Amino acid sequence: MVLPALFFAGAASIGALALRRRRRRRGEGGDASPPSSEKRSDARVPFVDRTRVPASAPSPGAAVRPLEGLKYAVKDVFAIEGRVASFGSPAWRATHDPATTAARAVTLCADAGAVGVGVAAADELGFGVTARSSSAPRGAPARRIPGGRSGGGAVAVASRAAGVDFALGTDASGGVRVPAALAGCYGFRPTQGAVSASGVTRHAPSMDTVGWFARDPETLAKVGEALMDKAPRTPTNSELPTSLLVVEDALDAGDKNAACAVGAACGALGERFAKVTRATGEGGISRINLGAHLLKICPSLREVARALSPETEERSAGLAALRECHRLLVAAEAWKEIGPWYRACDVATNAAITPRARELLEACAAIEPESLATIRRAREEARVAVGLLLDGTGAALVFPTTPGATPGAAKKAKDDEDEDGNGGEVRRVNEDEEAAAMETWREKCSRLVCVCDLVGFPQVTIPMPREGGGAGVGLSFVVGPRRDFSALAIAQQWGAKIAEAFPAIVQNELALERRKTQTPPSSGANGAAAAAAAAASAAAGSGDSAPGEALKARGNAAFKAGEHAEAVKLYTAALDKGGNARWRSIVLSNRAMANLKVGSYAEAEEDCTKALEGDPKNVKALLRRGAARSVSGNYLESLEDYEAALRLEPKNKDARAEIERMKNILGEATPIPDFD
């Protein structure tokens, strides 16, 4: 159920429902504090051990450190001096030496004043989503899996075990985001490489990144301040989004409660975005089928989709293709990292590896790296395409973190009452049926998490309250690369509002469904944004003497409304009207951006070249031509464009980041030029 009426009916009725609940709770002595997970005793928290890491001594006269006095846990993949990080495997632990230095992230936490109080369980060798390490205690009920490879840390945070305030984990396949949703805490996956992974054992290095959990968004942000020392907060990278893109095909993978989480966001934030639209003619809440969008403009991803089962529904084909890319790339990288050790294991060590882990390793070994050329191109195309969608536009994707609660938890809801002493007969589910349901849940979950794994952009998870069906439900926001503090600001400023609106949304979902026919699909936030954008653009262009200015303004409005093909036509008509060289350079650059959006990379490159002939200092044209050349595989020419842009704007972070990426692709060791 997608709840389209809820997403676009406006905030008035939804906000009134939430307001009534808020007043009623306050009248009963309640509060609007962030949601927390159900209580669990320390005995159920899968700590591997209680290794302590003391905080570093503060410098005399120094300011109060961001994590002063906070306690944290680390996943059993982070190096701690004098200890072996087991990678969730007794066999791995037995064949590796204790660390001589701590992982960089652990050192940064200590320097920020935090105290490590325990090591949390990890899935064996990084395989799985249960966080049931073969070396960890088995205390938790089977149906309440924390999910994700870093789930031990999520449970430690959610249950306040040993006084833990936050926990460090790693995320290559939802390892932080999924358990955050299931355990009921905040979780964050930063931009790939934003946090040092030195001293961390990783499953798939090109996708594995250090992430973390916290019970509240303020602590989540403080940890970010401490760990992202190479990319500190700036006014630009911490701005809140000006528009939201509801990912429709992700909603298709979720249950009713997962959809209600997105509905809660639209309801709680609808009026805010409506004000932005009215004031600026930009922004708003709109929909996007992300998979279909990427299939349209990513030719290699289309190849992957065609190779999949023809039974794949077209609406979900894009995310299914991304999932396949993710699955194969993770497997290939896991074998490259773990395979040599596995093949070198003696008989006794091999026996200590569980049969399931051995089976998965052998499956990874069967993948030929040379067969992944198309997959790698598809990943690069998707990274560029999602970057164009978000970076510089002030947009954020919003969708459920998971499809909902895990099947075991959903099917045995009454068992919760038994365990809490409230009665209720336990419903026994056939093990085969439960396994099949779990596999379906896992497949849907991987569709939701694979996007950020592949493109490497920041994603924050906001937990929904258990009240009213929020158990196992989280809401994700994805922003453009290096806008990590924007994602953290979303959690701080919007998290509690969304969570507070959620129970009322769930309770009134049936009534909203009955009213959905009253809201035409073309109206609501998307239609209002398009109309306001068109009016604002037309007004802005009315005073310009260029004969094609009105058409240019209409092209801008079409672009902002997501009608990129129409924007190309309007920009072309504007250019046909004439105009001076600088004006034409701007319009050509705009048309190039629209061509990038529709996947016409050769046309986008040609437009940029013409734009630069009219204005050699058009930085946007250089950056966009670099993007077009990059996605077409012309990395050397792309590098030249980005370096030219950096010469004109020495502080342009996008140009600098793309230069570094191109040099990594080309294998160049020369430093990034400094044009300051």
Tell me, what's the pLDDT at 615?
92
Dist. CA 130–CA 407, nearest whole Å = 13
Determine whether 156 is exposed, middle or buried from the number of CB atoms within 10 Å of its CB (0-12, 13-18, 19+): buried
Dist. CA 589–CA 571, nearest whole Å = 10
Per-residue model confidence as pLDDT tens digits over 199-228: 999 989 999 999 999 999 999 999 999 999
Same domain, 223 and 259: no
Question: What would the mean pLDDT of 45-61 be, rounded to a whole number?
Answer: 88
Same domain, 199 and 144: yes
Question: What would the mean pLDDT of 92-118 be, rounded to a whole number?
Answer: 96
In a domain, 368, yes or no: no
Find residue 53's DSSP bridge partners. 116
Strands 284-288 and 243-247: what pairing?
Answer: parallel
Domains contained in the chain, number: 3
Answer yes or no: is pLDDT of 614 > 70: yes
Dist. CA 204–CA 559, nearest whole Å = 37
In a domain, 456, yes or no: yes
Q: Are the CB atoms for 290 and 518 separated by under 8 Å?
A: no
Same domain, 46 and 180: yes
Find residue 247's DSSP bridge partners. 288
Range of the domain at 162: 42-227
Determine whether 56 is exposed, middle or buried from the number of CB atoms within 10 Å of its CB (0-12, 13-18, 19+): middle
Answer yes or no: is pLDDT of 666 > 90: no
Tell me, what's the pLDDT at 414?
41
- What CATH number is given to the structural domain containing 68? 3.90.1300.10
In a domain, 359, yes or no: no
Per-residue model confidence as pLDDT tens digits over 78-89: 999 999 999 999
In a domain, 526, yes or no: no
Same domain, 88 and 168: yes
Same domain, 262 and 213: no
Same domain, 276 and 178: no
Answer yes or no: is pLDDT of 571 > 90: yes
Answer yes or no: is pLDDT of 27 > 50: no
Strands 243-247 and 395-400: what pairing?
Answer: parallel
- What CATH number is given to the structural domain containing 639? 1.25.40.10
Answer yes or no: is pLDDT of 655 > 90: no
Same domain, 476 and 560: no
Dist. CA 491–CA 469, nearest whole Å = 20
Local structure of 335: helix, strand or coil: helix
Same domain, 490 and 388: yes
Question: What would the mean pLDDT of 183-202 be, rounded to a whole number?
Answer: 95
Question: What would the mean pLDDT of 566-571 be, rounded to a whole number?
Answer: 92
Comparing 261-270, 376-385, 419-428, 648-657, the range with the smallest average pLDDT is 419-428
CA 307 to chain centre: 26
Nearest to 177 by CA among 164, 168, 186: 186
- Which has more confidence, 11 or 316? 316
Same domain, 122 and 199: yes
pLDDT grade, residue 312 (50/70/90)?
Answer: low
Same domain, 296 and 206: no
Per-residue model confidence as pLDDT tens digits over 251-272: 888 888 899 999 999 989 988 8
Taken as a whole, the chain contains a residue count of 676
Same domain, 154 and 283: no
Q: Which of 197, 227, 257 is the endpoint of a domain?
A: 227
In a domain, 370, yes or no: no
Comparing 47-56, 62-71, 99-108, 465-474, the range with the smallest average pLDDT is 465-474
Answer yes or no: is pLDDT of 229 > 70: yes
CA distances from 475 to 108, 315, 490 (A): 28, 21, 11
Tell me, what's the pLDDT at 544?
42
Q: Give the strand order in the sheet containing 47-49.
A: 47-49, 115-120, 71-75, 166-171, 209-214, 186-189, 459-463, 474-478, 395-400, 243-247, 284-288
Comparing 141-155, 366-380, 419-433, 497-511, the range with the smallest average pLDDT is 419-433
In a domain, 273, yes or no: yes
Answer yes or no: is pLDDT of 385 > 50: yes
Per-residue model confidence as pLDDT tens digits over 516-535: 544 444 433 333 333 323 33
Q: Which of 517, 551, 582 is the endpoint of a domain?
A: 517
Answer yes or no: is pLDDT of 20 > 50: no
Per-residue model confidence as pLDDT tens digits over 450-496: 999 999 999 999 999 876 555 788 999 999 999 999 999 999 999 99
pLDDT grade, residue 675 (50/70/90)?
Answer: very low
Answer yes or no: is pLDDT of 37 > 60: no
pLDDT > 90: what percent of the chain?
Answer: 49
pLDDT grade, residue 348 (50/70/90)?
Answer: confident
pLDDT grade, residue 578 (50/70/90)?
Answer: confident
Tell me, what's the pLDDT at 60?
87
Q: What's the mean pLDDT when you consider all of the chain?
A: 80
Same domain, 86 and 105: yes
Tell me, what's the pLDDT at 286?
87
Q: In the numeric block, which tokens belong to residue 511? A: 């009534």
Answer yes or no: is pLDDT of 102 > 90: yes
Determine whether 637 is exposed, middle or buried from the number of CB atoms within 10 Å of its CB (0-12, 13-18, 19+): middle
Question: What would the mean pLDDT of 308-329 be, rounded to a whole number?
Answer: 82
In a domain, 116, yes or no: yes
In a domain, 427, yes or no: no
DSSP string, 642-676: HHHHHHHSTT-HHHHHHHHHHHHHHT--SPPP---
Answer yes or no: is pLDDT of 11 > 50: no
